[in-house]
Structure 1
Amino acid sequence: MASNTESNSNKVIVHNLLPHLVVYNDGTIDRLRNFPIVPPQQEDPKTGVSSKDIVFSNDPYLTARLYLPKLTQTNDQNQKLSILVYFYGGAFSFESAYSSIHHAYCNLLASQANILIASIEHRNAPEHYLPAGYNDCWDGLYWVASHATQNPINSDPWIINHGNFNRVFIGGDSSGGNLCHNVAMRAGVEDLPGGVKVFGAYLNHPYFWGAKPIGEEPVIGFEETLQSRIWKFAYPSAPGGLDNPMINPLASGAPSLATLGCSRMLITAAGKDQLLFRDRSERYFEAVKKSGWKGEVEFFEEKDEDHVYYMYDLETDQSKRFIKVLVDFLRQ
């Protein structure tokens, strides 16, 4: 019988996506960037926000964490709040709606924007390759919208009692921003229950890429950049590869951005995100403006910060400035 040392020495890396994750030939996965999972809270001591976990689909099995800010009206049982359907980031392959950083972020947003949040626990690669995550996020939005009808799917009292279905937002960070774009595109061509429309969408440092480098992206070895390899890992069967419209909405033949199914958009970027997604975020913003889309779009950049800097410390001056921009967008 082989010892543990011998067993470990036989493990071979088949996918190296450091610093995010490593997949071995025996099927085991080391998700090195996962933050700890934290439970929901009856009341967060910092923000007063309540949270709970719910199952919104049994086939496939899908869950979400709901966040309800402290209600302020005298008759608070009927207080109506804007709704945010949130998609977490993690290269489509790690992290969770239940991780400590996303929990803290959603508590803060729910409190400062006075908004009801449904944070969707979408499935990750490689256990579930894309487009599973795209479908999960759409299903989460569809489930929330179903509460505007007489027959909601797996109904939840927080959404029924407090959801304002005239102010439904979607949003996400990094790969979650990519998920948000694709859900917004789908909302432009598919109906949601109860005639619900997406009012606003925010894409923070969205993961967009393509088959050819732009801006300061490396020309030599571009196909082997981490950004290229993550997409091929998460969606190996993607038609068109790196120029699939889901990862490159500006690719030749991609659906027109004029069909985006929302009325307002916020796109954000970080100046030190040059080798990741900064240039593509700005080009996406410009393309939306020129597409013929009838909504309003704004762009915010923090020039001296890196990719999703605010997630890792919500208390810095730069993070507070960013959160104010996001909260203002959600409250307008």
Structure 2
Amino acid sequence: MHVADEAPRRVTIGDVAALAGVSRAAVSKVVNGTGKISPATAARVQDAVRKLNWTPNAAAVALRRSRSRTIGLVLSRPGALEIGATSSLLISGLESVLAPRSYGLLLYLVDHTADDETRAYRTLAEDRRVDGVVLTDSRYGDTRFALMRSLGLPAVLIGTPADGDPVPHLDNDPPGAGVDDAVRHLLELGHTRIAYIGGPDDRVQARARHEMFDATMAAAGLQPVASIATDYSPESSADRTGRLLDAAGTRPTAIVYGSDPMAIAGVSAARSRGLVVPADLSVIGFDGLPIGAWLDPPLTSVHRDAVQRGRAVARRLLGLLGEDVGEPPPLDRPHLLVRGSTAAVR
């Protein structure tokens, strides 16, 4: 009995896009000669078309006509009031690149569950509400990168993926940069009893900062008073700060925090115990938010340019979509802003 061979699968626009390393929309632009496209991108697409012997059909033309010219950003926050200053600056950077090129930004807020995120991304992709998405808050065991590939949704991560995932991304080099400068600043002021309170260890960025803190302390021959992983909420920061300050005989003289809001909550916890910042406790935040300059005392903080990060990731994503925007420049290394919340140990 003879069984007929299975018919070969027809090459699709998705196959061409995958081989060229671009979006399906970019392939459509090249094939149809519409819109702006960089010569390098066009050459990759044309080479992939030749290698796969692909010819466009009506579906490819329909794809070109159905572009939304919208970029998606899904944030795991319980509500708009919880977006935070850093995310607002990131959005400002995104808009500064997208708006002049007639792209919109669709902000999607979801609860802190993987299922809610997955539903959000599937909705955006299947309803063709967006042409691509910006990803934030890289996690260990992150399933979003594989999900984007299965949905055929172009995506760029602002941060570093775990386990070498090939998702397009950009970040500071190294990801924990700036925390080492904060520790060295405290060492120069004579502090040796230093603690760190940062974000959760399932976040790639948070763990990188913890590791940078521990490594810088070890290089100085010192053991941290504590290196604490918690969530980024001010409430958790105040609680863990209070426990450190209440511990007999091991109170730190300085604390480095994983964000400015955490540091501000830490100052409040110290004051509620009768301590004076920086006379009794030096405090350093992370992000360098403008509001820090107006606190009493002004907050010493590691400044990381969130607006620049937003601009860079927008340019990278538009490049994947076939827009001729050029490569984003390398991100500036975070640097320490020395203000009034740190002083020599007494």
TM range (shorter): 0.3 to 0.5
**Which gives a bigger RCO, structure 1 or 2 (Cα 8 Å, sep 6+)?**
2
Q: Find the structure with the greater CA-based Rg.
A: 2
TM-score, structure 1 length as denominator?
A: 0.32
Structure with the larger helix share? 2
TM-score, structure 2 length as denominator?
A: 0.31
Structure with the larger strand share? 1
